[in-house]
């Protein structure tokens, strides 16, 4: 599939701490989620082709806000706060869970979720809980196994097969691929997936 969306024109829209500050619940949103340091910001930057779009950070867990980016007037990418960072105080973790749960449960324009996992540490508890939950709510979820360049081709393929097998019970709502922000392996596949979601359904204009 040819990329038809103007990813390179993606702009930072706003950063919100509360769901009430989100833009109107219309158009299409695709959200990105994952453990801190899994490579979510790098994936967003690579997919849009914009290096500095989502701040990549060596200090995981720093951002507890929901960051929104507009691809065009009706399509947004949503960077949900990273989870699973041990040094985050319990109260913040709890707030994260409440905010993200509520976003995922209540956001009508959410068309799909990109779940980012480090290919070397896939399927941690929180990842599995999320998949369990999104599959039960029939929110399409696409797993990016990031940092694929850190493994040999064969190791990466083995991990992909293992994860695919583990996610088989969730059926058509969950898919998985290898991805590398470093060598851009899997970029077209990831964009194709996003595009399916962004172009699906009726938009108002």
Interface residues with ligand GDP (CB under 6 A)?
A: 34, 36-42, 56-58, 60, 82, 146-147, 149-150, 180-182
> Which is nearer to ligand GDP, 10 or 37 (by Cβ)?
37
Cβ proximity of 36 and 82 under 8 Å? yes
> Which is nearer to ligand GDP, 42 or 159 (by Cβ)?
42
> Which is nearer to ligand GDP, 129 or 138 (by Cβ)?
129
If residue 79 lies in a helix (H) or strand (E), which one and from where to where? strand 75-79
Min separation Cβ 25 and ligand GDP, Å: 25
Neighbours of 20 (CB within 10 A): 6
Min separation Cβ 94 and ligand GDP, Å: 20
Min separation Cβ 189 and ligand GDP, Å: 14
Handedness of CA 92, 144, 114, 136 (dihedral sign): negative
* Matching residue, tokens 């941690």: 124
Listing DSSP states for 95-148 in one string gives HHHHHHHHHHHH-TTEEEEEEEEETTS-S-HHHHHHHHHHHHTT--EEEEEE-G
Min separation Cβ 204 and ligand GDP, Å: 32
> Which is nearer to ligand GDP, 36 or 159 (by Cβ)?
36
Report the DSSP pairing between strands 174-178 and 11-16.
unpaired
> Which is nearer to ligand GDP, 57 or 175 (by Cβ)?
57
Min separation Cβ 35 and ligand GDP, Å: 7
Alpha-carbon span 56 to 66, nearest angstrom: 15
């Amino acid at each position: 599939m040819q990329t038809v969306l103007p990813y390179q024109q993606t702009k930072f829209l706003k950063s919100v701490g509360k769901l009430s500050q989100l833009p109107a619940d219309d158009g299409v949103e695709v959200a990105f989620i994952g453990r801190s340091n899994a490579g979510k910001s790098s994936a967003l930057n690579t997919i849009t082709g914009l290096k500095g779009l989502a701040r990549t950070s060596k200090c995981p867990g720093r951002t507890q806000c929901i960051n929104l980016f507009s691809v065009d007037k009706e399509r947004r990418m949503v960077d949900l706060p990273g989870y699973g960072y041990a040094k985050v105080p319990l109260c913040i973790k709890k707030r994260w869970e409440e905010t993200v749960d509520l976003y995922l449960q209540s956001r009508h324009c959410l068309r799909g979720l990109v779940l980012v996992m480090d290919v070397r540490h896939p399927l941690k508890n929180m990842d599995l809980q999320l998949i369990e939950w999104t599959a039960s709510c029939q929110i399409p979820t696409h797993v990016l196994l990031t940092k694929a360049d850190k493994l040999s081709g064969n190791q990466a393929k083995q991990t992909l097969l293992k994860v695919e097998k583990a996610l088989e019970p969730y059926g058509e709502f969950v898919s998985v691929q290898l991805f590398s922000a470093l060598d851009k392996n899997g970029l077209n596949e990831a964009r194709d997936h996003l595009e399916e979601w962004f172009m699906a359904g009726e938009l108002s204009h």
